[in-house]
Amino acid sequence: MSGDSRSSGPSGRRPRWRWTQRIYAGLLAFVAATAIMRVWWGRYAEAELQGVIDGIRARGEPLEWHEFAGPPVAPDQDATPLYREAWRSLQALDREFDGTLLGPRGLLSDLLTYPQFRHQRAADLRRIVQRSQPIVMLCRQARDRPACTWGCTFTDHEAEQYPRMLRLCVPLTRLLCLNAVARSEEARHGDAIECLRDALRLADAAYAYPASIPSMTARRLEGIITVSVEQTAPRLGVGPAPAASREQFRQLIAALLDETARRRGRVRASQEHRTNAYLMVRSARQKTQAERTQDGLPGRLGAFILQPMIALDVARVLRMQSAHVAYAGGSNKDDSRDAFRKHWPRGIPEDPDRWEDSMGSVGRVAYALSRLLVHDFGDVHVLDRRILGGRRMAATALATRLYQLDHGTRPETLGDLVPGYLAQLPRDPEAEGDPIRYLPVAEEPRLYCVNDNETDDGGMYWHADAQPGAEKHYSPAAPDLAFFLDGMRPRASRSEPEPVEHDRRGPPRFEFLMPTTRSSTATSTAPTAPR
């Protein structure tokens, strides 16, 4: 018995020890393999991120805020001081009118929007036009200056400048357009055209600021200008002063068709959006060693493991944002789509709303930054094309008016405008292969572009006084985008809304009782939409 126990003791422990060695060896091998894979994964992720960054810089695109700065601008070449002085003068004029001029429902907006109200308040209109001439002259001088920096040094993001820019640009544009409309009603057509050119220069200056909000502001200014051209074009005449000259017509048409500033502004706004995302993520990744020490061992271990995943997601964010930059730089819709798909990461749906359906729980973690920082800009692109279509139709309407002054009637087709009045027919932004459409003998003669559904609905349009929900503005079922050659957009009700004056000491200063009557006939004017 004792002999058996002595012989079995060492031999019994030896197998267990061998298994223990194997387990330890397996664990060590697993740890070593994991460490090697982590090192390889980290280097691969950083190489991917650096490759994306190098690609952006190789294209000469900015990725740091200071890289948006251009060459120094001499003070006498910068329009910023003139616009700021014009803004201060406009504030003083607003005080003369007891604070009723500015704001979305102030006198400037209502006088510009409602012709009947403009005639009712003719005395106020004359006073505004007379007292605003120094402001108009400041904007005229600013138009002759080639640059507008808005006082930005590009040393920091300077987001606090956005509200000042919004306050400055929109009221000044309304004032310039109101002067244009008033001058056209006084048969001072040359002055009207010059005021519209001043407003277009201000919109181009808004595009010069590389940020999304100023770019959206510039689109708003273009919309105000387009509506003003729609009101003034039917009254414009050619001849000796105070009528407009043919050269003034051509200069305004050329300014409307010059899309250089707006395209550059769209690109720089997309680049700024990408820069914001990159700088925010880089700041989060570049935590100091002291901050990491405070996280403790679990935090440091988790950061060590997840860092490659974060780097790959940052590279993915930059690729997606670069796709939007490429889209903004396209010369037409098809080119923009091709450029977008060239930069968009493969295997990922282009619509962020579909990401949740295409990824599991692991994918939601791996795409955490992409889901947070990348958004669907489809509505922004649609709005931009609608505004661009308005500019092109405004230029075409002016050429049509000039043809009418020369021949006594409008052209039978837009082809008659080439080459005497237009170098080529402006294209429909939603259907780049087709020119703008023309309905010269309709009840309301008009130009029109198709909506984002790319379907020609025969010139159907929204009435000016209907107010459907905002979601209908971009609905595929929405009608075409129309520009009326006889002036203001028709209303569902034939009477204009009556203004109700409120206390001038505070908003709301003027409210309009908007009629809810809609057209009951199923004609080309059946759809209704907001002003």
Based on the number of CB atoms within 10 Å of its own CB, is 74 exposed (0-12), middle (13-18) or buried (19 or more)?
exposed
The pLDDT, as a whole number, for residue 407 is 95
Q: What is the DSSP letter of 97?
A: T
CB-based contacts of 378, cutoff 8 Å, min separation 6:
351
Helix/strand/coil for 481 = strand
Six token digits for residue 280: 């925010």
With both helix axes pointing from N to C terminus, report the angle between 296-328 and 333-343 in degrees, rounded to the nearest 10.
150
Q: Which residues contact 178 (CB under 8 A, 6 or more apart)?
A: 108, 111, 112, 125, 128, 129
> 496 pLDDT exceeds 80?
no
What does the pLDDT average to over 150-165? 66
Residue 132 near residue 112, CB atoms below 8 Å: no
Average pLDDT over residues 193-202: 97
Distance CA 279, CA 269 (A): 15
Q: Burial, 385: exposed, middle or buried (Cβ in 10 Å; 0-12, 13-18, 19+)?
A: buried
Q: Is the peptide bond before 72 cis (omega within 30 degrees of 0)?
A: no
Task: Please tell me whether residue 438 adopts helix, strand or coil conformation.
Answer: strand
* DSSP letter (8 states) at residue 511: E
Please give the single-letter amino acid code of residue 268. Answer: R
| pLDDT confidence tier of residue 187, bands split at 50, 70 and 90 | very high
Q: Which sequence spans correspond to the domains of the chain?
A: 21-55+269-374, 61-152+166-258
Q: What is the pLDDT of residue 460?
A: 83
The answer to whether residues 466 and 489 touch, using CB atoms and an 8 Å cutoff, is: no
Specify the DSSP class assigned to residue 458. S
Question: Each residue of 10-67: pLDDT tens digit?
Answer: 555 566 777 788 888 888 998 888 888 888 988 999 999 999 999 999 999 999 988 9
Q: Among 401, 384, 531, which residue's Cα sits nearest to residue 466?
A: 531
* Dist CA 158 CA 122 (whole Å): 42
What phi-psi label fits residue 239: left (phi over 0), alpha (psi between -120 and 50 degrees) or beta?
Answer: left
Supply the pTM of this predicted model.
0.83
Distance of alpha carbon 419 from alpha carbon 425, whole angstroms: 9
Pairing state of beta strands 481-484 and 427-428? unpaired
Higher pLDDT, 271 or 287: 271
Q: 448 φ, ψ to 5°?
A: -155, 155
Question: What is the predicted pLDDT for the residue at 66?
Answer: 87
Supply the pLDDT for residue 162: 59
What average pLDDT does the chain have? Answer: 81
